[in-house]
Amino acid sequence: MKPLLLLDVDGVLNPTGRPSPDFRRYRCTIGSTVYTVHLNQRHGTRLMELALETGSELVWATTWEQHANEWIAPRLGLPPLPVIEMAPGENGSRHGEMFKTRHVADYVGDRPFVWFDDQVYQEDEDYLRARQGLGEFLLVHVPGRVGLTSRHLAAAREWLTLTGFSQGQ
């Protein structure tokens, strides 16, 4: 059973703060809305390396849903990835958790996972820990202004390796 690496876009791959020079600006049109995103192609390379080294599967966990495969993946050099459907307009936290957390729990089942997101907090961890039948997991809070860093990837690699979930060796 392959572990999962769950990826958010905004705040993780597309930082909300001023991006460093290694980020490139893109304009993405979805319906009648134009979005500006800043992406660093090295993220794609590093995420693929992490997935290969640990025997993990990359999955989109973002309100971009399928649009992430159209607009984000090709610009990062990623193949099309499975998508967790999010129902983006949904509200109604039950225990203070983010609306995406329930969808993530439904998707992952008993598979181990690492979730990179800028909006995961203690309430999300508590919700997931209380969920019956859920596998082991690591929530990696990525500060939205900065985005994904080598430190976040190293934390995921270490957790997958030390817990024995890594299948890459």
Report pLDDT digits (tens) over 140-163. 999 999 999 999 999 999 999 998
The count of structural domains within the chain is 1
Name 42's Cβ contacts closer than 8 Å, sequence gap at least 6.
Answer: 22
In a domain, 168, yes or no: no
In a domain, 69, yes or no: yes
The parent domain of residue 12 ranges over: 4-162
What span, in angstroms and rounded, lies between the C-alpha atoms of 83 and 63? 10
Give the CATH number, domain containing residue 69: 3.40.50
- Look at the block and give the residue holding tokens 């572990």: 3
For all residues of the chain together, what is the average pLDDT?
93
Report pLDDT digits (tens) over 96-151. 788 899 999 999 999 999 999 999 999 999 999 998 899 999 999 999 999 999 99
In a domain, 105, yes or no: yes
In a domain, 167, yes or no: no
Rg of the chain over CA atoms, in angstroms? 15
DSSP structural state of residue 83:
B
Instruction: Decide if 65 contacts 88 (C-beta within 8 A).
Output: yes
- Three-state SS at 10: strand
